[in-house]
Structure 1
């Protein structure tokens, strides 16, 4: 959007935010693998049980967080796209208005 506009949208920030949310989602999805890796390190069955309970709880919350991260990412991308579309539409309208004004002035 133009510098004289009351509303300024930082497209780069929105794009960076969307990318970072995708990276976070990927990291959270990749945490599934660590359960098996750590199980062999725990030894005692009581520790394994306690950690198993913790991991199951973490899995439930991780899945919820991944869904929420995906939703926020969709909103960020939709916001970016809506403002870009609006910016293009306003630029076209402004250009058309200027052309009409020039035609009337001639």
Structure 2
């Protein structure tokens, strides 16, 4: 990043939190019931038909969105874990380089 030296700074907590949050959104979409159960409540056949069309479109869109949100959640979780592992490995390499006993091995 410009002005910050030759390194990249990542907020691992934010990345992990994003994965958790997206997982929660996916779960909320999964828990939404089908909207067509409300068709009888409209009292007018034309309005009920229009709502039925909306409900069908919503179901298709919700399924697509749920899959995409789930994929993003998995990516964010995996990225957080991978960056954390890299951070631990780099820290260990620095500690080893600074410890004369380990350098002799």
Q: Quick check: TM above 0.5?
A: yes
| TM class, shorter-length | 0.7 to 0.9
Taking the aligned partners of 2:66 and 2:100, their CA distance within structure 1 comes to 51
2:16 equivalent to 1:12: no
Give the alignment's TM-score, normalised by structure 1: 0.80
How many residue pairs end up in the alignment? 100
Taking the aligned partners of 2:16 and 2:8, their CA distance within structure 1 comes to 18
Taking the aligned partners of 1:93 and 1:103, their CA distance within structure 2 comes to 10
Question: Runs of 5+ in structure 2 lacking a partner?
Answer: none
How much has 1:102 moved relative to structure 2?
8.4
Assess, with a 3 A threshold, how the Cα gap between structure 1 residues 102 and 92 changes in structure 2: closer, same or farther: closer
2:78 equivalent to 1:72: no
Taking the aligned partners of 1:13 and 1:59, their CA distance within structure 2 comes to 31
Give the alignment's TM-score, normalised by structure 2: 0.81
Task: Calculate the aligned-residue CA RMSD, in Å.
Answer: 2.3
Taking the aligned partners of 2:103 and 2:68, their CA distance within structure 1 comes to 52
Match of 2:56 in 1: 56
Taking the aligned partners of 1:23 and 1:92, their CA distance within structure 2 comes to 34
Question: Runs of 5+ in structure 1 lacking a partner?
Answer: none
